[in-house]
Amino acid sequence: MILDALPDSASPLYKEQALSDFYRSWLIQESEQMDVYTAEWRKRNFAVIALGVRVEYQRLCKRISNSLSFGKAHS
């Protein structure tokens, strides 16, 4: 759409500048929504990482418990 508005004689450099200007204004316009998205994305990723840590901790505790139980059974 942006490129369609340019004259056919526009140089590649001019087209690139027009796209760059459009993208810059779009980023400014959408910055608040992107900030909300980024905050939500980080929150969800932290929750997933925390869950993974909890699962690995439980597995470690179970291995230690099984190891201690195995040692007592063969003593």
- Taking only the tens place, the pLDDT of each residue in 11-61 is 888 888 888 999 999 999 999 999 999 999 999 999 999 999 999 999 999
At CA 23, angle to CA 11 and CA 27, rounded to 5? 165
The pLDDT of residue 73 is 62
Residue 63 scores a pLDDT above 90:
yes
How many residues does the structure list for the chain? 75
Q: According to the model, what pLDDT value does residue 34 have?
A: 97
Distances (CA, A) of 24 to 12, 43, 64, 69: 18, 27, 55, 63
pLDDT given at position 33: 98
Alpha-carbon separation of residue 1 from 13, 18, 19, 59, 64 (angstroms): 17, 11, 10, 55, 63
Ordered by start, the domain boundaries in the chain are: 32-75
Residue 7 · residue 24 · CB < 8 Å:
no
Q: What pLDDT, on a 0 to 100 scale, did the predictor assign at position 71? A: 64
Q: Does residue 75 surpass a pLDDT of 60?
A: no
* Residue written as token pair 């201690």: 68
